[in-house]
Amino acid sequence: MKKNVLILALAVLVVALGGVSFWLRAQATADPVVEAFKLVEVASIADAIEQLYGTKNYMSHDMRPIFKTKFAGRAVTVSLTKYENKEGGGPTQPMIEAIDTAPPGSVYVMAVEDGQNYGVIGGLMGTTLKYRGVVGAVVDGSARDLPQLNRLQFPVYSRGVSPGTTIGHYRATRNVEITCGGVKVKPGDIIAADEDGVVVIPREHEGEILKRAQQLDFTEHSTYPFIEQTKSLAEAVKKFGRL
């Protein structure tokens, strides 16, 4: 009896240590650049990109969240193109594969041709992404099953709401460069989102963009108390050089 108890105790210890080891590995693999972008305002990131490169890398104004949220992560991309068919879910299988392989901490980003009259993300997809540890989704179409997405508190940005289905109307490809909300997105680019909207940070420039965005954030947050004291926007712009 004592031998069996000892064996059981050792087994529990091995499982516990394995869990601790997994947790430590997960912490060690956290992306420091992504973590830093989570602390910066999207408006500052958008300004930083425009100042550095003269481009507008923020998505269309109608790309809005279904509830207030803030997140950042690297893009997992899917493209849906129109394809009227009676083949069931086969043509959209790459979309399912992308969802089922999306790594924790990533952002699911989907471009959809003429997608605003279709619910291109819903409860089943959102539940899977949530429990895979994906931090949010950005879709260039509409969302559906809002009660489930809200219950889950899974962040979704979409360009509308529709009860329609994509099955029978689209084919999918994954892990490709797409255009979502008017902005090019490559797999691995950082997506940052808050109440102001969604911005895409190209991977090849992320370090420089982060540094400038942090500077802009610091300047703006330093300006607020100055305006509260002086009650003058002109004086604040003169002192801090930012509007």
Cα-Cα-Cα-Cα dihedral sign, residues 180, 184, 188, 193: negative
- Which pLDDT belongs to residue 32? 97
User: Comparing 161 with 23, which gets the higher pLDDT?
Assistant: 161
Instruction: Provide the residue type at 123 as one letter.
Output: G
Neighbours of 9 (CB within 10 A): 10
* 152-165 average pLDDT score: 97
Can you give the residue range of the structural domain that contains 217? 210-240
Q: Is residue 156 part of a domain?
A: yes
List, for residues 89-124, the tens digit of each pLDDT value. 899 999 999 999 999 999 999 999 999 999 999 999
Do residues 224 and 128 both lie within one domain? no
Tokens linked to 106: 């990533």
Single pTM value for the model: 0.85
* CATH number of the structural domain spanning residue 81: 3.50.30.40
Question: Which pLDDT does position 227 carry in this prediction?
Answer: 84
> Is-contact 81 46, C-beta < 8 A?
no
Output the pLDDT for position 225: 87
Say what the pLDDT of residue 228 is.
84
* Pair (214, 144) in one structural domain: no
Is the same domain home to 180 and 221? no
pLDDT, position 24: 38
Give tens-digit pLDDT for 128-137: 999 999 999 9
Please report the pLDDT score of residue 23 as a whole number. Answer: 36
